[in-house]
């Protein structure tokens, strides 16, 4: 046997071992015309390894081609975590051990999986029960149906490990309401339960005790029609809470909204509208020094950002500003370049060691503060010139907005109806009742629509000069 043939044999053996490992950690369930992937690494909160993402990729490809599959579901075997991210400890170890191709293969395969979910030719339903962070967000947020439970916890905490929000965050975060995505990307702030619905991250809110029944319903539906699947999920959604806790905001007609950021939603736009981290930090300082309910939030947010890698903060802000103009394919291609450049940095490995290995949360960032980060050097290193990173070769038709919209209306869509800029709603001069009637009709009385529309109208509109009609308050 020649050396070359022995090498081929070793490579085949390793490939087989990885496939077997992946199939143990990502289970495939077939029932009628439904196919379910079950993440099965509970002790590691289902953090993704390279064999896992390779297995997910293979399942997606096989099921997309199968005439026996109508709908694909993604869930976890544990209520504690859907998926808490990628196994970046192993990626960092591979890179520093000289296995740079292996480290990059993880990101390349993961981003291909994320993109495939975004462009999949069949309905995908992601069941978000437990921690949904980093890589877990990438497996879910691009799907047309994203079902959150009361246990769901969303976060993109990458700046805390010296990285940047990836897995398609370049695309999805800038498309959330106002500056909400920038705030979440920079701070790593957690959202829980119904927060995900009102923030636009989830499309439905279904209590965890109903998830098994929902899965059975979808498996037996016998169709890949998106409208039929949406209606089937709506059968299991929970009524909005009618609580008067401190997390609720009273709005028009006394309808509350169960959104933990409701009281600071407008302040988020005020503070995070700027294009430099210095200006954002200054705005937070000004709000923190003013009397009012947002003062404590602003100080907390300022302190959060001070814990993050300064270079990650500046990189992330520029990434998200550019992402607002990119199509889905270019967003992932940019992330692959940024990932390789970031693996070459000090901060990523130091952040991973401090938070996930030493668990001391005492990273020594370099540069150590935002003023020491040269923005021109950062632009040159990450965004300008030619890069040798191997392209993703994604191959599908790119888009600048997600093709399927089954969540709540965005704030801008609501304001466009009020201002007469929505062709579906007619002209100017709409009263509160007419606006509400329009959205309840368009969204077929979807749970949460009344609460969000009411809340947005109370914050962003006022009575006009004639007959109870509304007009948008200029921000």
Residue of 70, 110, 158, 215 with catalytic role: 158
Q: How far apart are CA 42 and CA 40, in angstroms?
A: 6
* Residue 318, C-beta contacts closer than 8 angstroms, at least 6 positions apart: 378, 379, 382, 383
Nearest to 342 by CA among 376, 314, 372, 301: 314
- C-alpha distances (whole Å) from 347 to each of 5, 160, 170, 362, 365 are 41, 10, 20, 12, 6
Q: Determine the length of the chain.
A: 475
Cβ–Cβ < 8 Å for 316, 165: yes
Output DSSP code: residue 69. Answer: -
Between CA 308 and CA 343 the distance in angstroms is: 17
**Alpha carbons 41 and 47: distance in angstroms, whole number:** 7
Catalytic residue chosen out of the listed positions 86, 162, 185, 323 = 86
Among the listed residues 422, 431, 413, 438, the one whose alpha carbon sits nearest the alpha carbon of residue 470 = 431
Task: Give CA 185 to chain center in angstroms.
Answer: 9
Asked if 160 and 352 count as a contact pair (C-beta separation under 8 A), the reply is: no
User: Beta strand pairing status for 34-39 and 26-31?
Assistant: antiparallel
CA dihedral (237, 239, 243, 246) positive or negative? positive
Across the chain, which distance is largest between two alpha carbons, in Å? 90
Is 158 among the residues known to form the active site? yes
Which helix (H) or strand (E) segment is 369 a member of? none
Any idea what the Cα angle at residue 43 is, between residues 41 and 49, rounded to 5°? 45
- Please count the CA atoms within 13 angstroms of the CA of 203 that sit on its side-chain side: 22
- Burial of 269 per CB tally in 10 Å (0-12, 13-18, 19+): middle
**Active-site residue identified among 22, 34, 85, 135:** 135
Catalytic residue chosen out of the listed positions 70, 87, 110, 166: 166
Residue 135 is among the residues annotated as catalytic for this protein? yes
Element spanning 399, H or E: none
Q: Within 13 A of 168's CA, how many CA atoms are on the CB side?
A: 30
Token code pair at residue 371: 């003023």
**185 among known catalytic residues:** no
- Cite the active site residues: 86, 135, 158, 166
């Amino acid at each position: 046997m020649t050396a070359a043939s022995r090498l081929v044999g070793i490579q085949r053996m390793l490939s087989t071992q990885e496939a077997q490992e992946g199939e143990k950690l990502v289970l495939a369930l077939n029932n009628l015309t439904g196919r379910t992937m079950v993440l099965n690494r509970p002790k590691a909160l289902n953090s993704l390894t390279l064999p896992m993402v390779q297995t997910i990729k293979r399942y997606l490809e096989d099921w997309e081609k199968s005439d026996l599959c109508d709908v694909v579901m993604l869930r976890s075997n544990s209520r504690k975590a859907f998926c808490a991210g990628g196994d970046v400890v192993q990626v960092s170890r591979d890179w520093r051990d000289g296995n740079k191709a292996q480290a990059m293969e993880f990101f390349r395969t993961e981003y291909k999986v994320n993109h495939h979910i975004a462009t999949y030719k069949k309905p995908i339903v992601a069941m978000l029960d437990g921690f949904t962070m980093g890589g877990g967000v990438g497996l879910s947020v691009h799907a047309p149906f994203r079902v959150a439970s009361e246990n769901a916890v969303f976060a993109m905490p990458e700046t805390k490990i010296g990285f940047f929000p990836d897995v398609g965050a370049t695309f999805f975060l800038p498309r959330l309401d106002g500056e909400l995505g920038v705030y979440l990307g920079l701070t790593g702030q957690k959202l829980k339960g119904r927060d995900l619905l009102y923030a636009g991250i989830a499309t439905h809110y279904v209590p965890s005790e109903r998830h098994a029944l929902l899965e059975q319903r979808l498996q037996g539906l016998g169709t890949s029609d998106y409208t039929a699947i949406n209606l089937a999920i709506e059968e299991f959604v929970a009524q909005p809470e009618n609580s008067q806790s401190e997390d609720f905001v009273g709005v028009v007609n006394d309808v509350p909204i169960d959104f933990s950021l409701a009281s600071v939603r407008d302040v988020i736009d005020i503070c995070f509208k700027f294009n430099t981290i210095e200006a954002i930090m200054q705005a937070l300082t000004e709000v923190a020094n003013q009397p009012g309910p947002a003062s404590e939030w602003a100080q907390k947010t300022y302190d959060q950002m001070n814990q993050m890698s300064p270079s990650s903060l500046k990189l992330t802000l520029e990434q998200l500003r550019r992402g607002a103009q990119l199509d889905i394919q270019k967003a992932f291609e940019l992330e692959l370049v940024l990932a390789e450049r970031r693996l070459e940095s000090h901060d990523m490995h130091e952040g991973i060691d401090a938070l996930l290995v030493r668990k001391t949360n005492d990273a020594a960032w370099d540069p150590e503060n935002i003023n020491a980060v040269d923005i021109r050097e950062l632009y040159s290193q990450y965004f300008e010139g030619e890069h040798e990173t191997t392209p993703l070769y994604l191959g599908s038709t790119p888009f600048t907005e997600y093709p399927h919209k089954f969540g709540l209306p965005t704030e801008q869509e609501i304001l466009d109806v009020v201002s007469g800029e929505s062709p579906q709603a007619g002209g100017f001069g709409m009263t509160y009742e007419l606006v509400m009637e329009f959205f309840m009709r368009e969204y077929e009385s979807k749970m949460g629509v009344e609460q969000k529309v009411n809340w947005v109208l109370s914050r962003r509109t006022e009575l006009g000069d004639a007959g109870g009609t509304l007009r948008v308050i200029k921000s």
